Each structure stands twice: as C-alpha cells, then as structure tokens.
Amino acid sequence: MKNLADKNIRYLIEFIVIISGVFLSFYLDDIRELGQKKQYKDTLIKELIITSNQDLAQLDKVISDLKDVEINIETLLVDILDGEINLTDELIATNYLAIKTTMNFSFYPLSGTFDQLISTGSFELIESIELRRLLIDNYTHLSQRNNANNRSLDDLWLSFVENVDPFIMVIPIIQDDASYIYADQEIGSYDIDHKFYLSKTFRSYLVSAKSSVSTNLDMLDVFKKNYNQIINLAENKIDPS
C-alpha cells in the first residue's frame, strides 16, 4: 500500500511538473510576444510621427491655397457689389481661374500607420489615453468630416464648370511638364460675359464657394491642431534610444 501511495505521489509530482512547465512555456511566450508587440508599437509610433509631419506639410499647402481662394472670391464679390465692373477682364479671368482650379483642393490623411496600429493590436499598448483619443478622432471623426467637405467642394466645382464656365470662359496655358497637382496655371485666353458677371446667379455661386471654402478651412485648422498634439505626445512616448 505504501509503494502504491509513493507511486501516486511521484505521478502527481511529475504531473505538476509537466503542467507547470506547460504553463511556464505559455507564460514566457506571452512575455516574449508582448515584448515584440511593444517594440513594434514603438516602431509604428515613430512612423506615425513621420507621416504626421508629412500630413502637416500637405495641410499647410492646402490651407494656404484655400486662403488665397478666399481672397480671389472676395475680390470678385467686392467688384460686383455696386452693380458696376471696376476690374479689367484680365483680372476677372485671373481671379476666376484661381477660384475654379483651387477651391476643390483636398487634404488626404496618410492613414496607413494608424491602420497598422489597429490591425496589429499595437494601438491598445499606447499608454497615453490622450494620444489614443486624438488618433481615433483624427482618423475617424475628422476624416469622415473631411471626406464630406471634399465631396461638397467637388460638387460645387462641377457646378462652376457646368453653369459658370460658359459665361466666364478662361482657358489656361497647359505646361508640358506640369505634373504637380498644386501647380499654378497661367491664363491663355478668356471671354467674359459682363451681364452674367454682374448677375445674382454668379454672385450666389461666389457666396456658396466662399461659405464652403471657409467651412473647409475651419476643419483643416482643427486637423492641424490635432496633428501638432499627436506629434508632441508621440515624441514624448518614444524611447530616445
């Protein structure tokens, strides 16, 4: 009986050792996997800083161009306010071309790194609650608003092309090497219908464009503020080594 008890105790000890070894193996695997995830998270955060700075550069360009569009719109609105034409046809053509070709410039966030943070589970390892909140807001809520604004400006641009261009026709010079989307266009020729230029219809198009551009600028300013906060928080969470 004693031998049987000793044997059972030995089996029990061996079983405990085996189970402990299995659990220890799982535990060490989890520790190693967590360490790898944290290391990958830090890599993605560094990439996020780079892409955020690239997005800021794009934002600055779009904001600058849209502010110029506001000036172009205001120039034409002031000119037609008293029912008389004070600008030359060339200046009218210059301002109108700038409005039509620039008012639908759009901002497209580089969201690939954020998508990787989510898909790999690295997002949950970001310690800063504020950084997580800003990232979610930036790439979901603000991004959705941005897409809606871009669509509105695109639709308005199409309205200009269909309903204004036949009366204020400006033909730009197309450069053979013009490959940059934000490149300025020079006027080749123009034909201004003065009656339409002074009409309430044209004024309403300018007012709509001014409102849409202003709304987009307000949102882009929020985007810019978000990106600066994201970069600041992300840089503070990265190990300098």
For 100-158, what is each residue's pLDDT tens digit?
888 888 889 999 888 888 888 888 888 889 999 999 999 998 999 899 988 988 899 99
Please check whether residue 45 is in contact with residue 134, taking contact to mean a CB–CB distance below 8 angstroms.
no
pLDDT of res. 117? 86
Helix (H) or strand (E) holding 97: helix 89-102
pLDDT of res. 104? 85
Task: Using pLDDT thresholds of 50, 70 and 90, give the confidence band for residue 175.
Answer: low
- Which has more pLDDT, 25 or 16? 16
Q: What is the pLDDT of residues 185-206, one digit of tens each?
A: 678 889 999 999 999 999 999 9
Entry field: residues in the chain: 241
Task: Using pLDDT thresholds of 50, 70 and 90, give the confidence band for residue 64.
Answer: very high
Please check whether residue 151 is in contact with residue 106, taking contact to mean a CB–CB distance below 8 angstroms.
no
Question: What CA–CA distance (Å, rounded) separates 59 from 107?
Answer: 6
pLDDT of res. 241? 45
Question: What residue type is assigned to position 71 of the chain?
Answer: I
Three-class SS state of 198: coil
- Which has more pLDDT, 127 or 24? 127
Question: What CA–CA distance (Å, rounded) separates 173 from 186?
Answer: 5
pLDDT of res. 173? 81
pLDDT over 90, % of the chain: 50
pLDDT of res. 40? 63
- Which has more pLDDT, 231 or 9? 231
Summarize the confidence of residues 218-224 as an average pLDDT.
94
Summary mean pLDDT of the chain: 83
- How would you class 193 by CB atoms within 10 Å of its CB: exposed for 0-12, middle for 13-18, buried for 19 or more? middle
Summarize the confidence of residues 211-228 as an average pLDDT.
94
